[in-house]
Chains A and B, each alone.
Chain A
Amino acid sequence: MISAKKLIKMARKWQKIAARSRRRISLPRNNKDIVDDENCTSSFVVKKGHFVVYTTDEKRFVMPLAYLKHNILRELFKMSEEEFGVSSDGPIRLPCDAVFMEYVVTLIKRGVAKDFEKALIRSMETGRCSSSASSFHQGLTLSQQTLVSGY
């Protein structure tokens, strides 16, 4: 679990970021996009220069390739590998829910401050280091609730 102090610190920074712009995040797309059509997987294929990830609550996120260079996303990929292994027959699934993912996208879009990014990754890592997967998920959910409260 991450410490409350760290959480509050992150939440404060989040509030500042949120205050700067109240614009609502456009992602994710709604579930209608995720039509199950086995015979025509190509219809899923996103526009040029983008890749796709899914969250634990089955939301589909379309992101520009440049996001792959971002540390928070790389950390989520690493956690996905440790949680689920690397899938060989389906899309990439990240071990967080859509609310958290929206938050990550906002951070990336706004060019988050380095120390804040580090704190977030550290909080994610703390969750990952705990032996049980469920407490890891709690860790992410808790941090995201606190962080999103700035809205």
Chain B
Amino acid sequence: MLSELMNFLRACFRPRSKGYVHTNSDSGGRQDGLLWYKDSGQHFNGEFSMAVVQANNLLEDQSQIESGCLSSHETGPFGTFVGVYDGHGGPETSRYITDHLFQHLKRFTSEQQSMSTDVIRKAFQATEDGFLSLVTRQWPMKPQIAAVGSCCLVGVISGGTLYIANLGDSRAVLGRAVKATGEVLSIQLSSEHNASIESVRQELQSAHPDDSQIVVLKHNVWRVKGLIQISRSIGDVYLKKAEFNREPLYAKFRLREPFKRPILSSEPSITVHQLQPVDQFIIYASDGLWEHLDNQEAVDIVQNHPRSGSARRLVKAALQEAAKKREMRYSDLKKIDRGVRRHFHDDITVIVVFLDSNHVSRASSAKFPNISVRGGGINLPPNTLAPCGTPTEAGNT
């Protein structure tokens, strides 16, 4: 009894400055400074490669790959689930999505006994609703959680079909071989919800015809209500429910006029693709990558090198580009501490999923063990009130 108590206290007073490295027992990821990577792993439909580089003081990007059974029942369906969650305002929403979205997806898949766009849509909705309840509960103690949100990009491969669901500005890009030329072309699979895109601004304007200030151009960047670049997200409840857009939320987040309709949407754009033998790989990444590399550059880098380490290579290419834009050396950029590092580049998450045509359409488990890997980083506890929160959560994975 006493020793348990001592252990608990010890856990609580663990020096936080050392950081808590989130490593899942079967992830096998490595940490090198602010870079976390898993060069190669096996998923249900082929190989994968994963890398994350942290820039924010608390890593706001979260990511996961779950492969094997995609339902709560062992009977399947089987396949591979990939999630990239680019948080903003703090890590709370993206961490919440990592802990809940796939669980919801498995539950709805079992209920409907198959994978579908409806299952994915419901899983997104349940995650959004769950996070709203969390904000409602925490609002009295921690009102700033109302201004935390996350982009949410999901890809599901099941029975030869690829589903891509997206909220925000992360992106999934397919590398498809052209037989005649031997080239591998990039095909963007996800649609993005960033106010820099004209159709997104039009969508906002038509949804809010009475608000001439729904999108505002400030220092050459379009922002919804002058506050946020994306038009769809999980969280950001201060722009979805008027009752959270008031004191004690910081003044900079409070709108002058009360609003009746949600300003941001949580409805994902979902596309369905039948995978073909010419489809080689899918690159999933947060906008931290895409602001430095275009789709074809990224596909070329993956195509022209060994599969192992693909994700890390993409992160390196993006960092080299970031260093060039900041007029400094890549070797020096890597020396900059997290936090201040955010002024040089964003958090970057990359997952490359290779499609082995022999395995893409297989539907039975064939004794494939379920795998679960989460993108790492120095995961400090989300707030100082609960220093033991993160290790406990990690134990649940």
- Chain A interface residues toward B at CB < 8 A: 41-42, 44-46, 48-52, 65, 68-69, 74, 77, 80-81, 83-86, 88-92
Contacts and interface: CB of A to CB of B under 8 A. Distances in A.
Contact of B219 (A45, A46, A84, A88): A84
Nearest to B287: A88
A68 B218 CA distance: 27
Interface stretch (B12-20, B307-315, B331-339): B331-339
B324 A86 contact: no
B225 interface: no
B261 interface: no
A49 B324 contact: no
Q: Which 6 A-B pairs give the minimum distances between C-beta atoms?
A: A88-B291, A44-B327, A52-B327, A84-B219, A51-B328, A77-B343
Contact of B328 (A45, A81, A88, A89): A45
B34 to A, nearest CB: 14
A48 B332 contact: yes
A120 B195 CA distance: 36
A89 B287 CA distance: 13
By DSSP majority rule, is chain B's interface helix, strand, loop, or mixed?
A: loop
A86 B342 contact: yes
A97 to B, nearest CB: 17
A117 B20 CA distance: 32
A46 B328 contact: yes
Contacts of A90: 325
Contacts of B329: 45-46, 48
B332 A88 contact: no
Scoring B332, B337, B342, B343 by chain A CB atoms within 10 A of each residue's CB, the highest score goes to: B343
Contacts of A45: 323-324, 327-329
B336 A91 contact: no
Indicate the size class of the contact surface on chain B.
20 to 34
Given A42-B324, A46-B329, 5 more contacts: A65-B332, A68-B336, A81-B342, A91-B326, A92-B326
24 contacts: A41-B325, A42-B324, A45-B328, A46-B327, A46-B328, A48-B331, A49-B332, A50-B328, A51-B326, A51-B332, A65-B335, A65-B336, A68-B336, A68-B337, A74-B340, A77-B343, A85-B218, A86-B342, A88-B346, A89-B325, A91-B326, A91-B327, A92-B326, A92-B343
Nearest to A43: B327
Interface of B: 218-219, 221, 291-292, 323-329, 331-332, 335-337, 340, 342-344, 346
A121 to B, nearest CB: 15
Nearest to B333: A51
A46 B218 CA distance: 30
Contacts of B340: 68, 74, 77
Contacts of A52: 326-328
Contacts of B331: 48
Contacts of A44: 327
Contacts of B335: 65
A44 B337 CA distance: 23
A74 B331 CA distance: 21
A56 to B, nearest CB: 12
A84 B217 CA distance: 11
A68 B341 CA distance: 9
Contacts of B344: 51, 92
Contacts of A89: 291, 325
Given A81-B343, A86-B343, A50 B332 contact: yes
Contacts of A51: 326-328, 332, 336, 344
A51 B323 CA distance: 9
B219 A91 contact: no
A15 B231 CA distance: 51
A68 to B, nearest CB: 5
